[in-house]
Structure 1
Amino acid sequence: MSDPNQISFAQAFFCSAFAACFAEFCTIPLDTAKVRLQLQKKVGVDEGVGLPKYKGLLGTVKTIAREEGISALWKGIVPGLHRQCLYGGLRIGLYDPVKTFLVGSAFVGEVPLYHMILAALLTGALAITIANPTDLVKVRLQAEGQLPSGVPRRYSGAIDAYLTILRQEGIGALWTGLGPNIARNAIINAAELASYDKVKRTILKIPGFMDNVYTHLLAGLGAGLFAVFIGSPVDVVKSRMMGDSTYKSTFDCFLKTLLNEGFLAFYKGFLPNFGRVGIWNVILFLTLEQAKRAVRG
């Protein structure tokens, strides 16, 4: 399948990593709020404690900023950028080559949706397997503010977190939560990339629409909504396993969350998650399309 607009993998990786890092920097305050909401467990009336500390996206952002300072909203940005450089660059950069491999280089016409989904599942799983340590450290740093006042912080920064985890928990600990993380990221990658690909192609068939920022905006929002709806349950389990070491396994975390808090607990932080992922996808795909255009000249 010869495409005059096709770029090399190295160029695709650079464009994807740049776009993903830019989107991450712009939206990590919303991700921090999402992680705090997901880690916040249901409060029982018999526990003798007050109302939940965090309420909603804006309320959580405001509480974190007031109690910990504005900079706390960007906690985890360094490993977050590490993650996006690796994960974002690989999952997006490999998507078109893997899609072409699946249909065959001689294929002509529109790639079937199931091939788009399979390609995104494969690249998402591969990319997060490599990038899992960066994801773990990002979640650990974002969760630091959950510690009671006066309790010393576990990590002074990203590098210290990597070294401390290696020293205290062993190298295998850096891949804690890999199972749900592969599930989450493979599914969300498929939801984002395949839906963006499909929605964009569908929009371009509508008279009056062209391959421009308006089309990229609509396709990015659609991809974000679909990704959050599909990926929220595994996202909650992933965040809890990475932020709380008391869970024995992915199934143990899933079961305890379901039994103690009900099914809706898997959609905790849905609005901030959509706010974050929706905006993230718009920024990502707008930046990615412009970066690719610049590379093509």
Structure 2
Amino acid sequence: MTKGKPPERYIPNILKFAFGGSSGMLATCIVQPLDLIKTRMQLSGGKRSSFSVGSEIVTKEGFMALYSGLSAGLLRQATYTTTRLGVFNYFFDTYKETQGKAPGFGTKTLMGVGAGSIGAFVGTPAEVALIRMTADGRLPKDQRRNYRNVADALMRIVKEEGALKLWRGATPTVIRAMVVNAAQLGTYQQAREMFLAVVRDGVALHFCASMVSGLVTTIASMPVDIIKTRIQNAAKGQSQLSVVTNLLRNEGLFSLWKGFLPYYARLGPHTVLTFIFLEQMNAAYFRLTEPMPTKKL
């Protein structure tokens, strides 16, 4: 008598959200210095390399300054990545249950865009705090905001500028998330199929595909990311339109790709690390909840 196919196992929805956020937070702990350098370069008006910016930070502010804004980066992952991956997995499983099959590539891309936009809106307050905290060290001492941590940043923004300022730059943040998710899903799948002919399925394959995906995603999303960064760091009373027009008038069109190297160097590894941590958490859950085999009498 043949055995029936074992029932497919699912991870509870609340754990999907928790695993997604935790994996993003772990990855952020590793790549935070690159995020800091990228932000400093995007806010700088001069033509400087990522290496000179990084060395200047260490020389003037100390090595630990590379982790400035880490608390805000972790909160961003706890809000944005938790929501993005959790919503995407919820969309995916709901489609699979109702349609009786996995969604196609186009449907998965739309799910990713939708999940990314929702996650970006939820994560915008942490994004505003992150941009300001990582940018603070480049300002003259009398102009620095000197936020102690992300909680202090959020409370002071509400007190000094109003609660709505927590969503300053929400529109470009959401647009960036939609571009990132659309580009990542499409190019990652294509690169994965391409590398599969020469690289065995595993961490090496995921790394190669993620780096190609990261390159395309960086080119597509950097202009929106720089505009978002400038808007969120702008002084009180400065309009979003004036921020964009001043940027293009004073620094030129190609300034929209300023900080390309650290942005790309962060995006690829962060994607790889996030999904490696996520897969390990999923595997650990299935391993720990594996039903005990019944003993034969």
- Corresponding position of 1:248: 239
How many residues align? The count is 281
CA contact (8 A) 2:234 2:243 kept: no
Give the distance between the partners of 1:141 and 1:158, measured in 2 at CA. 8
Which is greater in Rg? 2
Change (3 A) 1:7 1:67: same
- Aligned-residue CA RMSD in angstroms? 2.4
User: CA offset at residue 3 of structure 1?
Assistant: 8.4
User: CA offset at residue 288 of structure 1?
Assistant: 1.7
TM-score when scaled to structure 2? 0.86
CA contact (8 A) 1:223 1:281 kept: no
Give the distance between the partners of 1:285 and 1:39, measured in 2 at CA. 30
Q: Runs (4+) of structure 1 moved beyond 4 Å? A: 100-104, 149-152
CA contact (8 A) 2:196 2:205 kept: no
Say yes or no: does 1:121 pair with 2:113.
yes
Give the distance between the partners of 1:208 and 1:63, measured in 2 at CA. 39
User: CA offset at residue 252 of structure 1?
Assistant: 3.7
Q: Deviations over 1:76-123 (max 9, x none)?
A: 1101101101111111122133245467732436x3332122111111
Change (3 A) 1:182 1:98: same
CA contact (8 A) 1:232 1:266 kept: yes
The within-5 A match list for 1:51-70 is 55-70=48-63
Give the distance between the partners of 1:231 and 1:287, measured in 2 at CA. 24
Say yes or no: does 1:29 pair with 2:33.
yes
Give the distance between the partners of 1:264 and 1:241, measured in 2 at CA. 18
The within-5 A match list for 1:173-184 is 173-184=165-176
Say yes or no: does 1:291 pair with 2:284.
no
Say yes or no: does 1:134 pair with 2:122.
no
The one-letter amino acid paired with 1:160 is: D
The one-letter amino acid paired with 2:209 is: A
Give the distance between the partners of 1:62 and 1:222, measured in 2 at CA. 28
Give percent identity, aligned residues only. Answer: 27
User: CA offset at residue 194 of structure 1?
Assistant: 4.5
Q: Tell me, which stretches of 5 or more residues in structure 2 are unaligned?
A: 1-5, 288-297
Give the distance between the partners of 2:196 and 2:64, measured in 1 at CA. 44
- Corresponding position of 1:72: 65
TM-score when scaled to structure 1? 0.86
Say yes or no: does 1:189 pair with 2:193.
no
User: CA offset at residue 151 of structure 1?
Assistant: 4.6
Q: Tell me, which stretches of 5 or more residues in structure 1 are unaligned?
A: 43-51
Change (3 A) 1:259 1:204: closer
